[in-house]
Amino acid sequence: MAWNSRVNHVAPFRVMHLLEMAQAREAAGHDVIHLEVGEPDFATPAPVVAAGQHALATGKTRYTPAAGLPALREAIAGHYAEHFNASVDPARILVTPGASGALLLASQLLVETGDRVMMADPNYPCNRHFMALAGADVDAIPVGRDSGWQLDAALVERHWQPHTRLAMLASPSNPTGHTLSADALKAVFKAVAERGGEVLVDEIYQGLNYDDAPLSATSLSDDAFVVNSFSKYFGMTGWRLGWLVAPERAIEPLTRLAQNVFLAAPTPSQHAALAAFTPECRDILETQRATLKQRRRVLLEGLAQLGLAPDLPPQGAFYLWLDISRYSRDSQDFCERLLREENVAITPGIDFAVQGGEHHVRIAFTNDVERLEDAVVRINRFVSRL
């Protein structure tokens, strides 16, 4: 049987292969340091867990409206008002099964066969795959230090084509951890609007900012599509909950899509997420952010001694994007050997970059300081043999 040809555009996520290898080594008795998967190592905050347990105990397990629990949509709107000085009508917010659900809705609404989508290269691979599954052609635009490892207005102007429909941004980004300033975002919005296109902003790592206050595109434009998640900053990965902020003109068709594609996001998760916006939970989350900032410093200092620190330190998320070209031009082999020889699990850059991924790797600082220091020692030992 011939499968849908669009599936051929979906490459395997190689980090999962590394994770399987790492778990197999652990099962065989090896001490593996996990720096490969993009998941916080903190437990979901206790207030969120308690709210979820209460929802289950009181029978809050029936469907919610397709766009989400009204109280949660209001809480998200309040979050934007309190922390970003953004006025977002709760009616413009759709709660989804993870940020992936939001990306699915946005891709199905915004692009179709023959359209082109531009995004930074490197980028989270599923962003490319969602657009390809919708029938669009993806233009992965190489970025580097000159553009702050982001897709900026100059690159949009240079690479926009007659059939380009959408520019997708990510701030903070995966895998580089870099952010876009308010001025940079405004410039991209202007460049895209002048060309009749749409902008989709991935803010999944919003809140995990270390140098400047977090920024949201919702405070700059009512016309951008903005994806966010309860997974990263809020520590709710397995609860599978995200949201999409969309222009008012897009809410009706997006709601129809949601009704048909997934019906509604998980109900207990939505009730649990209401507690994520409480002051008690905020204190926990900010303590975790400070811990991640300390880990970033320790890892940057250790890798600098090996000549592996990134040329521009990341401002957010919990990743480092490292150029390993002085040691290898095969990131898959580099990562597999590092795991086999030193029991350190990191991710090959070919997962994220169309160009240059073969000589880059991603390290997630989702482990405690002592383990990060040990990982640097092991990496040093490994590269000294290359």
Q: Is 33 helix (H, G, I), strand (E, B) or coil?
A: strand
For the chain, domain boundaries: 5-43+281-384, 46-278
Q: What is the pLDDT of residues 84-115, one digit of tens each?
A: 999 999 999 999 999 999 999 999 999 999 99
Mean of per-residue pLDDT scores for the chain: 95
Confidence grade of residue 38 (pLDDT, cut at 50, 70, 90): confident
Q: What is the pLDDT of residues 112-140, one digit of tens each?
A: 999 999 999 999 999 999 999 999 999 99
| pTM for this predicted structure | 0.95
pLDDT for the residue numbered 329: 94
How far is C-alpha 73 from the geometric centre of its chain's CA atoms?
Answer: 21
Question: What are the angstrom distances between the C-alpha of 130 and each of 71, 100, 106, 117, 272?
Answer: 29, 9, 9, 11, 28
Cβ atoms of 271 and 241 within 8 Å: the answer is: no
Q: What percent of the chain has pLDDT over 70?
A: 100
pLDDT for the residue numbered 81: 97
Give the DSSP H or E segment for 362. strand 360-364
Contacts of 75 (CB under 8 A, 6+ apart): 273, 274, 277
Q: Is the pLDDT assigned to residue 213 strictly greater than 70?
A: yes
Q: Is the pLDDT assigned to residue 8 strictly greater than 80?
A: no
Q: Is the pLDDT assigned to residue 12 strictly greater than 80?
A: no
Residue 167 is encoded by which pair of tokens?
Answer: 């520019």
- Phi, psi (rounded to 5 degrees) for 56: -65, -40
pLDDT for the residue numbered 15: 79
Q: Is the pLDDT assigned to residue 145 strictly greater than 80?
A: yes
pLDDT for the residue numbered 5: 76
| CATH hierarchy code of domain 46-278 | 3.40.640.10
Q: What is the pLDDT of residues 372-381, one digit of tens each?
A: 999 999 999 9
Question: What are the angstrom distances between the C-alpha of 184 and each of 147, 177, 190, 314, 367?
Answer: 10, 16, 10, 16, 32
Q: Is the pLDDT assigned to residue 170 strictly greater than 80?
A: yes
Residue 273 is encoded by which pair of tokens?
Answer: 């997420």
Task: Please name which of 52, 83, 85, 53 lies closest in space to residue 69, comparing C-alpha atoms.
Answer: 52
Q: What is the pLDDT of residues 50-94, one digit of tens each?
A: 999 999 999 999 999 999 999 999 999 999 999 999 999 999 999
Confidence grade of residue 193 (pLDDT, cut at 50, 70, 90): very high
Cβ atoms of 174 and 319 within 8 Å: the answer is: yes
Cβ atoms of 123 and 143 within 8 Å: the answer is: no
What span, in angstroms and rounded, lies between the C-alpha atoms of 246 and 211?
A: 28
Q: Is the pLDDT assigned to residue 386 strictly greater than 90?
A: no
For range 346-371, the mean pLDDT? 95
Which residue would you say has higher pLDDT here, 38 or 328?
328
Residue whose token pair is 């895209």: 192
pLDDT for the residue numbered 1: 63
Q: Is the pLDDT assigned to residue 10 strictly greater than 90?
A: no
Q: Is the pLDDT assigned to residue 7 strictly greater than 90?
A: no
Which of 18-22, 73-77, 351-355 is predicted most confidently? 73-77
Q: What is the 3-state secondary structure (H, E, C) of 163-230?
A: CEEEEEEECCCCCCCCCCCHHHHHHHHHHHHHCCCEEEEECCCCCCECCCCCCCHHHCCCCCEEEEEC
Task: Please name which of 121, 123, 118 lies closest in space to residue 136, comparing C-alpha atoms.
Answer: 118
| CATH hierarchy code of domain 5-43+281-384 | 3.90.1150.10
